[in-house]
Structure 1
């Protein structure tokens, strides 16, 4: 996934402002990769098409435990009470790590991590998940405001248009490109013109393109 392989585990940081096309890009990767197992943290109700919606954590844990041999596709809804997100997210990440293999999507990382704070479950999942055969997509609108180590630990960094200077600086540094190139990226719903830039961390190769539908 994301590199044309259905088998290679990856940690993929997907950054972009609201309406920049980042969720659409993740969905394209899921459709192409067809992961055997899929767990989605979905606070914005973006990923219902990819699995069975679940809003109860106990039900989610049981569903993973009882998953058939051909896998599972579960979309977890943490609800509207942000004060409960931290505990729920920690359990979600621990569950995803223990499930081994498959694919995990975490949308809106800014809701559940900060530059100086990340739940233990997330730290383990994002740092060690690839050794469990897990492909992890972590998405955020404000890269300057999330777990500061995540982008550095990613095997692929994918960036769409950003709105704030702090975020532009962070991503220009992460991608190894001029800040102005990030500022000039387009995201126009009227013309379906969505720019992206991505960097493969292992090789340092940088690619540029447009989201296609």
Structure 2
């Protein structure tokens, strides 16, 4: 199997304020992808890529790049139903290929019983297009199971709802108590973020870790 055909699907799961964004930003900084597309419904990733003025602008920019370096993101607005906009961005990611595609806030656009066709294609066939998929959600119990079932890497942070903790325990094949124990702790020295991670390509089980941020 060629490198192009190796699946690369990463999931970052955690409640608001749990540290998920810290990891995503650090991961993008580490990867430094020459080609990057971000579905950014909360307008949080401006330091990584400029926002397209419209879907037509976004598509045009990728056509103009002709497979070369490009970094763009799309912030969903009121002009188009969010599901329709997400489908269009997924179709663009798949057609463009050879890029990192970050999809944020998946509970806005998928459900536990439904993966939109364009998103499902990205998850199940994206490896043939050399896609490196990064996906994020606050409520794993509410998102499509296609993602969690196809991930090559998962990092889980604190979750408030039991159904979410149960969903991640099942996805990572760990005891629910390990997910329940995850905390993000703030004190005078800074913030300590607890997480569980599992690389399904290399690790036989999930490993615990922490991220420490100094107070400013």
The two structures have a TM-score, normalised by structure 2, of 0.89
Q: 3-state SS of the aligned residue for 1:52?
A: coil
- Distance in structure 2 (CA, Å) of the matches to 1:65 and 1:212: 41
Q: 3-state SS of the aligned residue for 2:149?
A: helix
- Distance in structure 2 (CA, Å) of the matches to 1:104 and 1:9: 13
**Unaligned stretches of 5+ residues in structure 2:** 1-5
- Distance in structure 2 (CA, Å) of the matches to 1:142 and 1:135: 22
Query: What is the Cα deviation at residue 173 of structure 1?
Result: 1.2
Query: What is the Cα deviation at residue 124 of structure 1?
Result: 0.2
Match of 2:112 among 112, 115, 128: 115
Say if 2:39 and 2:74, in contact at 8 Å, map to a contact too. yes
1:75-123, Cα deviation, whole Å (9 max, x unpaired): 1111257x70111111100100111111000000000000112221101
Is the aligned partner of 1:76 residue 2:74?
Answer: yes
**Unaligned stretches of 5+ residues in structure 1:** 1-7
- Distance in structure 2 (CA, Å) of the matches to 1:13 and 1:48: 21
Is the aligned partner of 1:139 residue 2:136?
Answer: yes
1:184-195 equivalences in 2 (<5 Å): 184-190=181-187, 191-195=190-194
Match of 1:87 among 84, 87, 90: 84
The two structures have a TM-score, normalised by structure 1, of 0.91
Superposition RMSD on alpha carbons, in Å?
2.0
Query: What is the Cα deviation at residue 160 of structure 1?
Result: 0.6
Q: 3-state SS of the aligned residue for 2:51?
A: strand
1:160-202, Cα deviation, whole Å (9 max, x unpaired): 1111000000111111221111111111244311011111223
Residue 150 (structure 1) aligns with: 147
- Distance in structure 2 (CA, Å) of the matches to 1:105 and 1:212: 24
Residue 197 (structure 1) aligns with: 196
Match of 2:49 among 36, 44, 51: 51
Moved more, 202-211 or 112-121: 202-211
- Distance in structure 1 (CA, Å) of the matches to 2:127 and 2:207: 23
Change (3 A) 1:22 1:132: same
Say if 1:101 and 1:133, in contact at 8 Å, map to a contact too. yes
- Distance in structure 2 (CA, Å) of the matches to 1:125 and 1:35: 18
Say if 1:55 and 1:79, in contact at 8 Å, map to a contact too. no
Aligned length: 207
Change (3 A) 1:85 1:193: same
